[in-house]
Structure 1
């Protein structure tokens, strides 16, 4: 018979998976995200050359998808051999649509990685605090809006966060126990995280901080003893082994790997993001912490994280015990150091910071449980409901947005029904390029102030033109895609 904890985790898993699978085919038959083809085309290309030939992204997720594609292809062939193709095709025709099926497979894999992240989050919360906090952490990551958003794409960010969460789990073990095994496993998962997406290597910072905090909080350890540094070296070796396992051509094609002159090289990624000065870094830091994280995490968890910082500071001042709440201290310092470091680049896109999300969530729910235990709060259930209902609302909203048809797909369907194929379509946004790649319509991309010939259709996204007659409007409220205005150019 299942215990309460297992039942809770199963419910959380199911809720998280549903939130990530609803709308998983968004925008089909088009692929609008510019990065999605990278994984799919590279994975399919492995059939002909084991070396993808580019290191703008590491290769582990490419190889994983290639393996799954091959298994899928064998199973699909088996359906034909067993004369079941017609039966299955009637219900799931997409299985035989090679232009879309591999995108769908990778999106589903990403969604599964996103949902499975509840496991390391539960284990870490339990290890740092207790089982209840582990459940809180699992529930929190299941409903974080940005995590759900990127779980809908065939991208490497969410799998990277899964491995980063596993690494953080072993980092928290290092925080309390000097055990070489934990260093090796933390290093190995850091390597897997980095070989999935490069910024996963940043989890090395929490590992080092966990080591430092344990050494300084334990009287029987000294920081400069070799046996202490030795474990960090083992972790580094373990992470390099894991990275090379996932991206072997980083060694076998080293000259391409270290190129900085274009996206084929890994080091190009680090030069491409740019850098900023101290004042701009501080501005980025404040913006990321107080605005970006707040919106992308559903408000509650970021508020709790800020309160956790204040709580730890007050306790340190009041008790003069720096390590009284070593668990929260580790999570807070790791988060702030990582965010400060990452804010030193010119491009601070929201998904770059997913590697930090496990730390923020754990600090938030850890503080929540600490306060509930510390104060024996009478209305704890009401507080818990408020904390989780707010991000849950935004989580459901995110899934609903993906469930809704993209405005560009709406526009294309309308175009197919209402506009003759010999009509020339003029449009002003690169967001619409994929719609015209099939050459079904004559089309030309122009600027908003270009001269548009008479008897043509002019499509403008995200702006208005008063010179022509508006014949159709597509609103992007609670749906993906730009606002689209369709004008008829007449005398």
Structure 2
């Protein structure tokens, strides 16, 4: 679905460029001239997600909403991914919208409200298949809402119907090219169902979340989860507490069972975790007010508690812009432009670098080891680009992955290294190596 959105944005960008004299034909426009507009759409959806978190937080109270939205606004994982034209920020927007509309449906108790919540879940699934988990929100809300008109079953069926229609409208080739959809889905599932990385995915995702929220935030989240479970059982507000706790637990379990692990895959969890962290912070503030502590001391403790949760992620988010400069990927891209002949064929693993196809015959593959040296020679490949994002885990743990490590070593040993870009200490960039394929 997001591809269609970006197609519309690209068309508008091209028309605007044509009217301003930047180009007079499609062949004159370069891909990088569309990046700013494309990224602006992602950034807009990221900003809108902060607003959605605020409106969700209002169901608990104004202070909850302000703390949750403030935390979401400075969340490093969300800030970083809002720079890129990927599906993770858009799917997070639609999952958060589903949460808000599910709460609204619970308040209104009408089947049409559950239909709208289901439609938001359908758009989440059409944006990225993992977004389908969001359908759990309106279904649970319908089941827990008494007095749904005309019935709870009608509310649940309306949510399912809304999700199905929205998904097919946003991803029409699911039916228009059913064989292509099924084949593509099978290939995608093959990647997700492969051999798990060295560290358990659940541990890796917890590390990503800890790095984003820092320990004060993680402690607040844990407190919010415990408080939420108690409220979900005893009330009041059982529906909103159940949705706030249930979705992140189910979604975390879901992504932790997959072989492909990237920090951005956990992004749909973040709005829920911000709400839960805000619950712990505000509850802690309310608890302090019950004690006979001098007003100045109590105020200082309240400020320290709030700042302790929000400030560390904020500092990290600001620091991201400092480390986002001439990264190894950009250095590799510039080296290719300066040193590789225009008619060369380039194969690049992973998707953190895409060859400028207007100048080269470039293609991206899952991992370079998926083909042998003879395959590259037979296909007329001139250069390959290796990324530690792909080969790194195998080189760090060769005993655990002897086959994968051996395939990479055999491939690299038969090619000539022409450039290597290693990130400085402390920079979270991938190492990039360019090899020349010489028959």
What TM-score, normalized to structure 1?
Answer: 0.65
Structure 2 partner of 1:322: 234
Deviations 1:323-379 (A, max 9, x none): 246344431232212212332223333222222222111111123223323442542
Match of 1:450 in 2: 413
Task: Measure, in 2, the Cα distance between the counterparts of 1:254 and 1:414.
Answer: 41
8 A Cα contact 1:301 1:360, kept in partner? no
User: Cα distance 1:301–1:174, how it changes in 2: closer, same or farther (>3 A)?
Assistant: farther
Deviations 1:7-54 (A, max 9, x none): xxxxxxxxxxxxxxxxxxxxxxxxxxxxxxxxxxxxxxxxxxxxxxxx
**In the TM superposition, what is the alpha-carbon distance from 1:401 to its structure 2 partner?**
1.6
Shift of residue 129, structure 1, vs aligned partner: 0.7
The separation in 2 between residues aligned to 1:144 and 1:434, in whole angstroms, is 31
Instruction: Check 1:321–1:104 CA distance in 2 against 1; reply closer, same or farther (3 A cut).
Output: closer
The yes-or-no answer on 1:369 pairing with 2:291 is: no
Partner of 1:152: 83
Does residue 156 of structure 2 align to residue 232 of structure 1? yes
Residue 341 (structure 1) aligns with: 254
Q: Is the 1:192–1:246 contact (alpha carbons within 8 Å) kept by the matching residues of 2?
A: yes
* CA displacement, residues 182-219 of structure 1 (integer Å, 9 cap, x when unaligned): 2122111111111111111111122233334445xxxx
Q: Note the alpha carbon deviations across 1:262-316, whole angstroms, 9 max, x for none.
A: xxx2344334311799xx9x9544553x423212344443321111233456x57
Whether 2:306 is the aligned partner of 1:384: answer yes
TM-superposed CA distance for 1:415, in Å, is: 9.6
Distance across 2 between alignment mates of 1:351 and 1:72: 27
Indicate the SS of the match to 1:152.
Answer: coil
Provide the rounded CA distance (Å) in 2 between the counterparts of 1:119 and 1:444.
43
Q: 1:188 aligns to what? A: 119
| Aligned 8 A contact 1:406 1:479 in 2 | no
Q: Aligned to 1:244, which of 168, 171, 195?
A: 168
RMSD: 4.1
What is the CA–CA distance in structure 1 between the aligned matches of 2:265 and 2:203, rounded to whole Å? 16
SS at match of 2:317: helix
Distance 1:275 1:181, change over 3 A: farther
Q: CA deviation at 1:410?
A: 4.1
Unaligned stretches of 5+ residues in structure 2: 290-297, 342-347, 362-381, 386-407
2:318 aligns with 396
Is there any run of 5+ residues in structure 1 with no aligned partner, and where?
1-59, 87-95, 260-264, 422-427, 463-473, 487-491
Matched, 1:274 2:193: yes
May I ask how many residue pairs the two structures share in their alignment? 374
Q: With the length of structure 2 as denominator, give the TM-score of the two structures.
A: 0.72
Which residue pairs with 2:424 in the alignment? 475
CA distance in 2, matches of 1:73, 1:416: 24
Structure 1 residues 375, 258: closer, same or farther in 2, change over 3 A?
same
Q: Is the 8 A contact 1:301 1:365 kept in 2?
A: no
Task: Show CA shifts across 1:41-100 (max 9, x none).
Answer: xxxxxxxxxxxxxxxxxxx211111112212222222213xxxx59xxxxxxxxx75131
Name the structure 2 match of 1:69: 10
Which gives a bigger RCO, structure 1 or 2 (Cα 8 Å, sep 6+)? 1
Partner of 2:151, secondary structure, is helix
Superposed CA offset, 1:435-465 (max 9, x none):
99859xx867795973898xxx754455xxx
